[in-house]
Amino acid sequence: MNGKPILCLDFDGVCHSYVSGWTGADQIKDPPVEGLFEFLEEADKHFAIHIFSSRSHQEGGIEAMKAWFYEWFSRQFGRESIPPFELHFPTVKPPAKVTIDDRGILFMGIWPSVDGLRRFEPWNKKEI
């Protein structure tokens, strides 16, 4: 990791578009969120990138995520392409400098309303 701070990315809804919803820890059907690979290439210059998911501790989850990244990177950049970034797949949430998650709320020292939490929708489920 070369002493770089950790950037933790949630997998479903951040990397993987998660249009089909949950179909199992080892089942990943949907394409990446647009711009993912370009973001990873730039972020890798400054961070150790950790991909973490509720899949991470389930049988077949990490293997499925790794295969998904390889498949979609190859589809976008060609079979001979080697990703220009390194990804880590921890089985527990890492001590990240920053985390990107589609189902999180930034805590700024003031508790959110419970009603607001009940109405929360991730970016890909909100009506525009």
| Interval 23-71: pLDDT, tens | 999 999 999 999 999 999 999 999 999 999 999 999 999 999 999 999 9
C-beta of residue 37 within 8 angstroms of C-beta of residue 76: yes
Name the strand (E) or helix (H) holding 91. none
Distance CA 49, CA 63 (A): 17
pLDDT-derived band at 90 (thresholds 50, 70, 90) equals very high
Global pTM value: 0.90
- Residue for token pair 């919803």: 21
> What percent of the chain is modeled with pLDDT above 90?
84
**Cβ neighbours, 10 Å, residue 29:** 13
Please name the residue ranges forming H helices in the chain.
36-43, 61-77, 114-119
2 has a pLDDT exceeding 90: no
Average pLDDT over residues 58-87: 91
Could you tell me the residue ranges of all domains in the chain? 6-101
